Structure 1
Amino acid sequence: MTWIDIGAIDDIPLRGARKVKTRDGCVAVFRTDEATVYATSNTCPHKGGPLAEGIVHGAKVTCPLHNWIFDLETGEAQGADEGRIRTYPAKVEDGRILIDAAVLGQRAA
């Protein structure tokens, strides 16, 4: 894996999210507890809702437009909804959020 630094964990509130611009496009980064982060596509497949503006609960996010719920680990929609968002490997090291650039780059190809 090729890790790139996309920001400080303290820039994302606990149980919050931010949209982060990378050279390969924007991703949503979610912080679910003190040192756990997830990175996904920022667009809901249902109506294009901005997921970084959604409600984070546990390891899930609820789309702010139509309340679709996505698992941040798998990207799968929960409940009766069908759909999936793209997920990207992410981790925290020394207070910095790192994302796998190789996987992110595959999205742009």
Structure 2
Amino acid sequence: MSMKWIEVGSLDDIPSRGARCVNTPEGKLAVFRTAEGQVFAIEDHCPHKGGPLSQGIVHGTSVTCPLHNWVISLETGRALGADEGAVRTVPVRIEAGRLFIALGGVAEEAA
């Protein structure tokens, strides 16, 4: 299955240490922006009880679920600390201030 890049908005649409939800054919995703300006996309549900990660607190390259304080790595999608579980990560790229996410396959190196 080949990967398809879709535009999801502007980098300016996502506040520093915030998130934006995107509905896709593959499910609801959360696109995060860290204080350092990095952008990550993951599934918008905590692996614990399905809490909305897009409403969590972003710190470093992690997000804390607003329901039960599970900490999820934005880089790997894995729960950190003693918790176990993971969410799917989705490749993101930025071109001229526009955000694109990859759907439908394994991403190559994002340019």
TM-score computed with the length of structure 2 as normaliser: 0.86
SS at 2:83 equivalent: coil
**Aligned counterpart in structure 1 of residue 4 of structure 2, from 2, 5, 11:** 2
Q: How many residues align?
A: 104
Is the 1:62–1:70 contact (alpha carbons within 8 Å) kept by the matching residues of 2?
yes
| 1:34 positional shift | 5.7
Contact 2:5–2:100 (Cα < 8 Å) also in 1: yes
Q: In structure 2, do the counterparts of structure 1 residues 96 and 33 end up closer, same or farther at CA, with 3 Å as the change threshold?
A: farther
**In the alignment, structure 1 residue 20 sits paired with structure 2 residue 36:** no
Unmatched segments (≥5 aa) in structure 1: 105-109
Larger helix proportion of the pair: 1
Partner AA of 1:100 in structure 2: A
CA contact (8 A) 2:16 2:37 kept: no
1:10 aligned counterpart, secondary structure: helix
Cα RMSD after superposing both structures: 1.6
Task: With the length of structure 1 as denominator, give the TM-score of the two structures.
Answer: 0.88
Distance 1:103 1:29 in 2: 18
Separation in structure 2 between the aligned mates of residue 24 and residue 70 of structure 1, nearest angstrom = 20
CA distance in 1: counterparts of 2:25 and 2:85, whole angstroms: 26
Query: Where does structure 2 lack aligned partners over 5 or more consecutive residues?
Result: 107-111
CA distance in 1, matches of 2:25, 2:40: 18
* Partner residue, 2:75: 73
The structure 2 residue matched to 1:45, chosen from 44, 47, 68, is 47
Equivalent residues in 2 for 1:76-95, closer than 5 Å: 76-95=78-97
